[in-house]
Amino acid sequence: MPNLISLPIFIFILIYSIILHEVAHGLVADYLGDPTARLMKRLTLNPFPHIDPIGSILLPLLLIVTGSNFLFGWAKPVPFDPFNLKNPRRDSALISLAGPATNLFIALVGSILMRLLIFIELPVLSTIGMLILPVVIIINISLAVFNLLPIAPLDGFKIVGGILSEHRAKEWYELERYGFIFLMILLISPGLLNIIVGPVINFLRSLLLPGSYGGFI
């Protein structure tokens, strides 16, 4: 977890990783025929339209203060209208998948850049990069894995709904009303959350963080 010096870096990277996650939802929705996010001017990197007081500020700070092994958060969801989509169930799943996929892509790019910096050995650039890039990688891995949990309102819930048959999907979406309860149980039970997402996050960290940086945070 960050110290007082690196805390501003953590917060900045977390907020913009969440924003890019949400903008990706809107861009894919626009590509699939729903311009709602674009018309509502939510396809912006300006943080203010996206910030959710609880998910973007209070929860990350709480996780930092309590020394959590993982850092999560969320922004105000980018709206989309399924009635504008050609195949609402499938396209909704693709829109949901876009967010975690973007976070994993950012983590992959960060991993490639880290390895390049290690290879080219430019002292000043390497020092700055090795301070920032591990944070980028770990935050985006954590956001991707957390959001892929099949619990409403997380992206994983809609992704599962898009994979299931129409009959099974209707039964699945009946569980949506309980999603917030399940999510709160996870968030107030760090040990349980660690059991569920920890192995996946640690595996991806071992793949994307070179050498000793696997234990950076």
Interval 168-199: pLDDT, tens: 999 999 999 999 899 889 888 878 888 999 99
In terms of Cα–Cα distance, which of 93, 106, 212 is closest to 156?
Answer: 93
What is the average pLDDT value for the chain, to the nearest integer? 89
Question: Cα angle at 89 between 39 and 75, to 5 degrees?
Answer: 50
What is the model's pTM? 0.91
Given the residues 22, 121, 166, 176, the one annotated as active site: 22
* C-alpha to C-alpha distance for 196 and 183, rounded to whole angstroms: 12
Counting every residue written for the chain, the total comes to 217
In terms of Cα–Cα distance, which of 68, 74, 22, 23 is closest to 53?
Answer: 74
Asked if 176 is an active-site residue, the reply is no
Alpha helices in 121-164 (DSSP H): 123-147, 155-163
Residue 159 has pLDDT above 50, yes or no: yes
Mean pLDDT (whole number) for 74-83: 90
**Which carries the bigger pLDDT value, residue 122 or residue 202?**
202
Mean pLDDT (whole number) for 207-214: 76
